[in-house]
Structure 1
Amino acid sequence: MPKLALQISAQLTNVQKLRPATDDAALMMRVKCSSCHEEHKKEVSFSPLDEVDVQGGKGKANFVMSCQFCKRPASANFETPTAKAPLYQPYDGPDFATLCVLEFRGMEPVGFVFEHTTWRAVSEAGAAFAELEFEDGEWTDYDEKGGCEVSVMEVEARWVRA
């Protein structure tokens, strides 16, 4: 089954690293059925901590659903993290870079929603911003340690084969 990498891109100002706030952070996505190509009506949440039985006793997955239109089963799994490849890789801009890798069965991602995930950033001066949230794809703050503005603007996401 296809492994797809979620890649992000953003314009960083005085920020050197951006990633989800915790290793168990849930990601919100829009998905569609691989069989009938019907897009799911709501955004769905994928958490690396969730373990759900796959229909038919075929193991476990981080996310399981059935298509609302054709009723076919679908599942997704985060790639197992290693010492060299953590679950969420920090983004340091400016080009697209892989945030995480998931394996999809019976569904395809069609979008990613930044606003529903809590993020963590580190400024160039080393100040940590532990629980930032995007508003309309943007985040700004002030770095007391560095005495400058910090921001993440123009966030984008795309899915590519891993």
Structure 2
Amino acid sequence: MLYLAISATLSENIKSVRVKDSVQEPAEYTFQISCNNCREVNPAPVLINSVEKHDMAGSKGEASFTMKCKFCSTECSVNLNHFEESLGAEPQISKDKRKKSGLAKLSTDSAAILQLDCRGCELTKFYFDNNLTFVVELVSGNKLECQFDQGENEWYDYDDDAGEEVSITDFACEFFKGK
């Protein structure tokens, strides 16, 4: 099992940060994918969301994403599930559940937002700056939306109600292998 974790330094007035993702407006997660059989990297990034389901060839199951490798015809699939809801002050998943999932080494300042079950392929890169919107919940109760631009890993805004700056710095995403 593969997990996608996000981490960041949040200003003290931020309660949580989560991906804006719902059935009505599904988030499109963008990945670089490679075939496990021939090791060729798919020439174009792939978009996967948790709402769409596709029939898997030669199986009764469904997956969030399916494809046939253009080079060796291997059937590949990825099933995307949400794991931890948000990055913030209060832990979303207990330490025991993280340990059972093989994420004991994951920092408490990180959140494993996605659980990715990859069959016949490997996700090698995540592009967090393409069409992904984050909802920032503030201590004041306000909610702001943010996106990270190409090459940027920080975001700044202003909370009008509290009269103070809001910031996310050192934003990063990385894959973790778990159970």
Shorter-normalised TM range: 0.7 to 0.9
Q: CA deviation at 1:88?
A: 5.0
**2:129 alignment partner, SS class:** helix
Q: CA deviation at 1:87?
A: 4.9
TM-score by length of 1: 0.84
Q: Does 1:123 align with 2:115?
A: no
Partner of 1:21: 20
Partner of 1:146: 162
**1:38 alignment partner, SS class:** coil
8 Å Cα contact 1:29-1:45 kept in structure 2: yes
Structure 1 unpaired stretches of 5+: 80-85
Partner of 2:87: 91
Partner of 2:119: 105
> How many percent of aligned residue pairs carry the same amino acid?
30
Of residues 32, 35, 38, the one that matches 1:36 is 38
RMSD: 1.9
8 Å Cα contact 1:111-1:157 kept in structure 2: no
Q: Does 1:76 align with 2:91?
A: no
Structure 2 unpaired stretches of 5+: 90-107
**1:70 alignment partner, SS class:** coil
**1:50 alignment partner, SS class:** coil
TM-score by length of 2: 0.77
Q: CA deviation at 1:50?
A: 0.6
8 Å Cα contact 1:11-1:155 kept in structure 2: yes
